[in-house]
Structure 1
Amino acid sequence: MTFEPVLPAVVLAVAAAAVLILRAAALPGAAKAGRPSLIRWTVTTGALTLILLAAARPVSGPAATESGQRPQDGANVYFVVDRSADSAIDDYGGAQRMSVMRDDIARLVDEHPGARFAVIGFASRPSVDWPLSADAWSLLPLVESLNPYPGGDAAEVNAGAAANTLRYQLISAGQQYPHAPNLVYYLGSGAAGSTLPQGVFDTPPVDGGAVLGYGRGPGEDRLREIAGQLGVPYVSRGAGADLPAAASGEDTFAQVTAPAARRLEYYWALTMVAALLLLAEIFLTTRDLRRARATRREVLT
């Protein structure tokens, strides 16, 4: 097990020292007040300790891939997802286009273990639905909840709405992970019924990915243009069909996404236990305050 702290080690050390001093100062009073107070002191101290451990971000797994690559150099995978009204169309054997998109994203996440992922949704404007993170375990529930934006108008869809957002994301990732390959998967229908001017993907060069097309007719021409702008292949999708190797990047990026590089993070378990302990303390504190107020009212009356 190793640690990848969310804050500099010095800051965490100072915070830990401050917590230790404050809890030590409260211990004599808790011990003097009796066993219940001592138990509450122990529970609160344990919760604070767990929060500090979560901030230290413990992870398990190999420190490097078989090729000697550092975990922080794993691929950055960006999903640019069309959440417009076009994605609500049911034309995949009765299945909604967005349903097929969700399945494809989940497959791609599984095919890129050890990578960091980001999700950028768009219709007429973009939004970062999931910032770049290696926490694939928490990403999957978000993917399952992706749906077309309610009340959208197909005439106001901009197939290139996410261009600038993706550009800035790639620039930022290049500064933070200079040795990591960047993969872009664009999932959309091509805004066939839109009357808006369409954006252009003028981004830094990417190392792979694909434009996955879920539309038909005029939308496919626009999707092919986007694929050319990004420098990745265009793949027309069908419900239930396997992703071609050209889309999944299996051949090009087998080494940078080796399954042996998968790591497990434990911060979520630590924070969950800490939250439960603190909820118990909040309940007891609220109860004590109510009793104190009731006692005060009785004395005053």
Structure 2
Amino acid sequence: MIFQPALNVFLLILLFAPVAALIVWILVRGPRAAAIGPSAGDAGTRVRNHRTLWALRLVMVLACFVMLLRPGIPGGATQTLATDTDIVLVVDTTASIVAEDWADGEPRLDGVRADVKALIEEYPGARFALITFDAAAELRMPLTTDTTALVGSLDVLRPEVTAQSRGSSIGIAAPLLSETLASAAEASPDRSRMVFYFGDGEQTVSSEPESFASSAKYTDAGAVFGYGTAEGGRMLITSGGFQGDDEYIEYQGSEAMSVIDEANLETLAGQLDVPFELRTADTEPELPEAPSTTTSYAEAGEVGNVTELYWIAALLIIALLGIELTRATMLIVRLRGLSTPRSAPSAPPVAPTTPVEAAPTKGGDAS
């Protein structure tokens, strides 16, 4: 049994000891003679009721004291990691990211979402930033530990509008990534930094891809994840809403197919000095080990899981409060009954009387 008091124990004693002492004194003293009444039979019942009532109140006070002590049973210690790392995710949002060659004809973006969730589980406590790129790069979410917001951002993420697409470069996010990493390094020089790139490597503009080499000096670990197949996948037209049209992008009269370019992705991985990994739906991502700055709280000697028991005292308090409320309601009903004036009984009707003639006197009329 361990205790995790809500307040200092000495302060709790100062708060509850006077109240408990007062209740004990009332119990020992008993009810006043005027409250017992003249009847000897009623006297014994009233004394017992008085002591029972105040004994329950004493139990309620003690239960409040125990609840604020927060008792618990220590459980097995669990290894909780706090990854002291900044992780920047660079996600391709060009039309090819919805090419339907992931798993059983699902879009590649589903694979990206699944792999990001695996990252969140692998590096708990890390700060995440999200950069997306198509015709331009955009910082969708700055560094934060709010992984719920990150997952929400990915859930609503959609590719660029097909009608506005003019081609894109797989390295267009390089300057923004370098700037983001440099800012993170300046703000928190003691934290390590990781970069994960998600894309298919398709270069759809004639220029050469921008280099990510300037980001390598800020990157401690990471990976380049490639999505797609050599056979390719067709892409739905995106109109800018949450639901795309039911038509596919066409090129020269037939459905356009997006294929992965592993050579380009390997080049990006070399510039960042991180490994390249081809992703498929039937395999789990091979994530690098957490940087050396990762701290294990369990190994540092902190308390492991604790089974809280204060709720037992809370249930007892609720039950005792129910008894008090029931008793108060009964007393109110009784007092209202005593205070209601009773109407006086009506008098029985009196029969009308008839005048009686005087009896004649003996000897005739008096004259």
TM-score, normalization: structure 2? 0.48
Given that 1:88 and 1:98 are in contact with CA atoms closer than 8 Å, whether structure 2 keeps it comes out as: yes
Aligned to 2:220: 207
Task: Structure 1: state its 5+ residue gaps.
Answer: 1-65, 262-301
Aligned to 2:262: 220
Give the counterpart letter for 2:219 in structure 1. V
1:101-143 Cα shifts (integer Å, max 9, x gaps): 1111111112110100000000121000111111123222112
1:56-135 mapped onto 2 (5 Å cutoff)? 74-92=84-102, 93-135=104-146
Q: Secondary structure at the match of 2:161?
A: coil
Given that 1:113 and 1:257 are in contact with CA atoms closer than 8 Å, whether structure 2 keeps it comes out as: no
Give the counterpart letter for 1:80 in structure 2. V
Q: Secondary structure at the match of 2:115?
A: helix
Shift of 1:196: 3.5
Q: Secondary structure at the match of 2:198?
A: strand
Query: What is the CA RMSD across the aligned residues, in angstroms?
Result: 2.8
Runs of 4+ in 1 over 6 A off after TM superposition: 152-155
Q: Secondary structure at the match of 1:131?
A: strand
Q: Secondary structure at the match of 1:90?
A: coil
1:247-283 Cα shifts (integer Å, max 9, x gaps): x22x34376165869xxxxxxxxxxxxxxxxxxxxxx
Residue 258 to residue 163, structure 1, CA distance change in 2 (3 Å): farther
1:47-77 Cα shifts (integer Å, max 9, x gaps): xxxxxxxxxxxxxxxxxxx99x9x7x81000
| Bigger radius of gyration among the two | 2
1:1-301 mapped onto 2 (5 Å cutoff)? 74-92=84-102, 93-151=104-162, 156-201=167-212, 202-203=214-215, 204-217=217-230, 219-244=261-286, 248-249=287-288, 251-253=289-291, 256=294, 258=296
Q: Secondary structure at the match of 2:194?
A: strand
Residue 236 to residue 220, structure 1, CA distance change in 2 (3 Å): same
How many residue pairs end up in the alignment? 190
TM-score, normalization: structure 1? 0.57
Q: Secondary structure at the match of 2:284?
A: coil
Q: Secondary structure at the match of 2:218?
A: coil
Given that 2:269 and 2:275 are in contact with CA atoms closer than 8 Å, whether structure 1 keeps it comes out as: yes
Given that 1:114 and 1:257 are in contact with CA atoms closer than 8 Å, whether structure 2 keeps it comes out as: no
* Aligned mates of 1:257, 1:83 — CA distance in 2: 34
* Aligned mates of 1:90, 1:199 — CA distance in 2: 27
Percent identity between the two aligned chains:
31
Shift of 1:195: 2.7
Give the counterpart letter for 1:208 in structure 2. A
Residue 253 to residue 240, structure 1, CA distance change in 2 (3 Å): farther
1:161-196 Cα shifts (integer Å, max 9, x gaps): 110000011110001110111000000010244434
Q: Secondary structure at the match of 2:109?
A: helix
Given that 2:170 and 2:203 are in contact with CA atoms closer than 8 Å, whether structure 1 keeps it comes out as: no
